Structure 1
């Protein structure tokens, strides 16, 4: 993480770096791997923050940013879909911890100017993750640790996406407030 922060513009070719991390990322985004232990706040979040910083550089072409980000977000969104449809035999709060650590860490690599002004398509991808995560609240409305994780993720989304996230918030906030 420190190397990426200091040298991110010098780390080229980006494709080679991200491909070399692919096995680790696949392993970390796999629920079978993550089910071995409940992830803590520091468990491998640094790798996703570093990847977010690399993908979030402005000199990465939009098409490549979309491909990289999509390849990370797609399996995570599929896992949420499995959880919502009760096809994932895992503790929902554990899944939420896992998801939140990864998504929140990746978001740190992006800034509001990039995702809203320069590359709004990237911002839309992140907004869709909020919609996906809101489905967990509908499926598991009374699990407090889960609600806390979603609230934390919403906070990070507002920090990254700014006021553009407001139109997507009512659905999530309605679910959070419905059980108070």
Structure 2
């Protein structure tokens, strides 16, 4: 039986108890798929730090590429890119355990999340210490920390005219 036919209201606008129960189960199942996946946490060993905002960890013998949520760090071939990577490595060294609070998946199918190493919110630390921009196009979560880092000329904010990574990528 087709779902659209199964879920159709009868002419009186009421559902049979069976139809109502099936609709409720169908909706709850759909919500559990969405909410369950995005509110999940994973944990694993860091095996690669690509740059200041992307890592790979192994969880249950499976490699998972993680894009740090809410920030954009300089590219490796951009001014301050190597420093951002080194700072991320200082917070999350190779072979360290990391916990990831999954926020989303990006268009490249990477997990987008908040990274915790040694109970430290790594995303916050990168922005707070001037190693990344708050990625305003996706979140306002770290704008206050970026403004504080700018005011105190922390990290890349000590440079004369730091170029946003998104602008740098566009020029490449």
Output the TM-score relative to the length of structure 2. Answer: 0.29
More strand by share: 2
Which has the larger Rg? Answer: 2
Structure showing the higher helix proportion among its residues: 1
Bigger RCO of structures 1 and 2 (CA < 8 A, at least 6 apart): 1
